A and B are shown apart, each in its own frame.
Chain A
Amino acid sequence: MADPMRIRAQAAGGNATVRVLMAHEMETGQRKDAAGKLVAAWHITEVTATHNGKTVMTAEWGTGVAKNPFMQFTIKGAKAGDKVGIMWIDNKGDTRSDEASVT
């Protein structure tokens, strides 16, 4: 199981800005190890964001997203106390989901 995500959701003017920092290697599949062999690609492929259990956004990521990925988005009509959930799946089938409250 991967390390937990850091999720910050702040309410402002009727919306909530969500910032997520995930812990993931995001190996591109282009890099070679010390022995000159290609390191296999290992990256997050899909991200799902929920607001009080309802999916509000999904994302598909390639190998080009930076290591320990960051993303930011804004949920309309979210209030303090609402639950924001983030779930990701990587190309090895590993998955992680975390939840935070809007503050």
Chain B
Amino acid sequence: MQSRRETLKQSAVVAGLLAGTGLFPGYALAFNAPAFDAKSLADAFRGLGITAPQASKDVSITAPDIAENGAVVPFAAATTLGGVKQILFLVEKNPTVLIAAFNLTDNVEANVSTRAKMAQTSDVYAVAVLTNGRALFAKKEVKVTLGGCGG
């Protein structure tokens, strides 16, 4: 249980962070700028408030072994676990590692896919954040062929 004082203090911190970026006016209050600007996995997890994500067989990631075109790489993540509140996609060696965060409700399945850009060959992480705060991930290496001619 949070006291009112703590809540106010945290709101002020978040507002300060957003104002500090100068890029995001009021409409984007939910957008987590520190996490999306992060240059490393550790920073991204910190920005999201995730501590100690663990590898898990219960989370699956689907991505190609080799992506001929790094501009469009299909990713899919799924888990059979219940109580998933968020699914994240991260690419370790991209200039900004966090690709997307999907905030789920009980009315959707823990199974989402999207397409991302990849700068170079890298490990791709699919992270499932559970309502109890645990974070489980699966990772897969995707090789990006430069030039996109299938070499």
Asked if A pairs with B, the answer is yes
B103 engages A64 (CB within 8 Å): no
Q: Which residues of B contact A91 (CB under 8 A)?
A: 23-24, 28
Cβ-defined contact, B108 with A45, below 8 A: no
B residues in contact with A59, CB < 8 Å: 100-103
Alpha-carbon separation in the docked complex, A81 to B102 (Å): 25
Q: Mark B28-55, 1 if CB is under 8 A from A, else 0.
A: 1011100010000000000000000000
Which of A46, A62, A93 interacts with B98 by CB under 8 Å? A62
- Asked if A97 is at the interface of the complex by the 8 Å CB criterion, the answer is no
Tell me the dominant secondary structure on chain A's binding face.
strand
Q: Could you say which residues of chain B place their CB within 8 Å of the CB of A93? A: 25, 27
Within 8 A of B (CB), among A65-89: 65-67, 69-77, 89
Whether the Cβ atoms of B100 and A62 lie closer than 8 Å is yes
* B126 shortest CB reach to chain A, Å: 14
Are A46 and B31 in touch, CB under 8 angstroms? yes
Residues of B within 8 A of A63 (CB): 36, 96, 117
Cβ of A55 within 8 Å of any chain B Cβ, yes or no, is yes
B contact residues, range:
35 or more
> Which residues of the partner chain A approach B111 to less than 8 Å between Cβ atoms?
73-74
Please tell me if the beta carbons of B101 and A73 are within 8 angstroms of each other in the complex.
no
Interface string of B87-114 (1 = CB under 8 A from A): 0010100111111111111111101111
Q: Number of residue pairs across A and B with beta carbons under 8 Å?
A: 111
Complex formed: what's the CA distance from A73 to B114 in Å? 9
| Chain B residues whose CB sits within 8 angstroms of the CB of A46 once the complex forms | 28, 30-31
Interface size of A by CB at 8 A reads 34
> Are A57 and B36 closer than 8 Å at their CB atoms?
no
Inter-subunit contact B108/A71 (CB<8 Å): no
- Whether A66 contacts B115 by the Cβ 8 Å rule is yes
Q: Contacts A45-B31, A64-B100; is A74 near B105 (CB within 8 Å)? A: no
B72 at the interface (CB under 8 A from A): yes
* B115, A65: Cβ atoms closer than 8 Å: yes
- Give the distance in Å from the alpha carbon of A40 to the alpha carbon of B26 in the complex: 20
A sample of 19 inter-chain contacts (CB < 8 A) reads A15-B109, A26-B117, A45-B24, A51-B107, A55-B105, A57-B105, A57-B108, A59-B101, A59-B103, A60-B32, A64-B91, A65-B115, A66-B71, A66-B116, A67-B71, A71-B114, A72-B114, A73-B102, A75-B107
Instruction: List residues of A whose CB falls within 8 A of some B CB.
Output: 15, 26, 28, 30, 45-46, 49, 51, 54-67, 69-77, 89, 91, 93
